[in-house]
Amino acid sequence: MERRWPFRLATSIYSFCHGRAKAYSQPTESDLDALLEKANAALPGVQLQRKDIDYAYAGLRPLVADPTTPDNTTYGLSRGSEIVDHARDGGPAGLISALGGKWTTSRRLGEEVVDLAVQYLGHKGASCRTRDTLLTCTPRQDLAAFMDQMRADYPHVPVDEIDRLSRLYGRLLPQLMAQDKAGLGKLRNPLLAARVSFSLHHEMACQLEDVVLRRLIEGQTGALTRGQIQIIADYMASRLNWSEPEKTQQLDRLHARLRGQSD
């Protein structure tokens, strides 16, 4: 019987104020206890314990203070942003700092910083293009309408699967579905084969770990068998001109990672 590795859970972020800057940070036992408390509150059926934690990490990030936010609260702080023009406070002219923010507002923050920099340089800046530029994979119509269209275009694919792929690949989904799957027939799963091929030819995956652990949900959840991984490795070796020693090394590295997850 081919071995599968067990399910692993990545919990959400637990954060708190340090009060003052530190040169480094690492999780404490109280941090881990707080993390377990939050995880068990969200998933009471799992009843996680300290021994269930395989790995934890901590990091430091600067947050923008808000006078109305309590000192021990980070939730609101993590979403605030501020642009500091140091010359206005007697600092060096032309030095600009962008503080705080989050992924979903970073584009707007970047636009404001660039506008200020252009103003300093005395140039007439071009109008911002990123505000209205859609990502390549972004559907040009309403997401619900796009998903309805994909269901109609691929009626042979189960609805839950085509919906998942629609969210993952967006308007690149037709390109994925038309992907050349030659060399991956032994997977006996056309959609899996298409995603493997797509990851090499359109997502710049060049390591076995890139494909299995970073491009395939089945690899992240442990749904791939060793046999399927071998087929993927053989395919990558033929497309990327790996030698046998290189393919063996790629497999060894991946299986070492998977053993570490299951120990």
Q: Give a yes or no: residue 216 inside a domain.
A: yes
Q: Examine residue 68 and state whether it is found in any structural domain, yes or no.
A: no
> Could you tell me the CATH number of the domain that includes residue 207?
1.10.8.870
Q: How many domains does the chain have?
A: 2
Which residue type occupies 102? Answer: K
Tell me, yes or no, whether 113 and 158 share the same domain. no
From 121, 154, 174, give the residue that closes a domain: 121
**Are residues 175 and 116 both part of a single domain?**
no
User: Do 113 and 180 have their domain in common?
Assistant: no
pTM of full prediction above 0.75: no
Residue 3 has pLDDT above 60, yes or no: no
Q: Which of 89, 131, 136, 138 is nearest to 114 (CA)?
A: 131
- Helix orientation angle between 244-262 and 226-240, rounded to the nearest 10 degrees: 150
Confirm whether 86 is domain-assigned: yes
Please tell me whether residues 240 and 172 are part of one structural domain: yes
Q: Has residue 205 been placed in a domain?
A: yes
Q: Are strands 96-100 and 81-85 parallel, antiparallel or unpaired?
A: antiparallel
Domain range for 92 is 79-121
Per-residue pLDDT, 53: 83
Tell me the pLDDT tens digit for each residue of 21-78.
565 677 888 888 888 888 888 778 778 888 888 777 777 776 776 666 665 555 555 5
Whether residues 159 and 112 fall in one domain: no
Is 104 in the same domain as 176? no
Distance CA 128, CA 130 (A): 6
> pLDDT, tens digit, for every residue of 92-144?
988 999 887 777 788 888 999 999 899 888 888 778 888 888 888 999 889 99
154 within a domain of the structure (yes/no): yes
pLDDT, greater one: 104 or 167 = 167
For residue 76, give the amino acid letter: G
The pLDDT tens digits for 175-196 are 999 999 999 999 999 999 999 9
The answer to whether residue 106 sits within a structural domain is yes
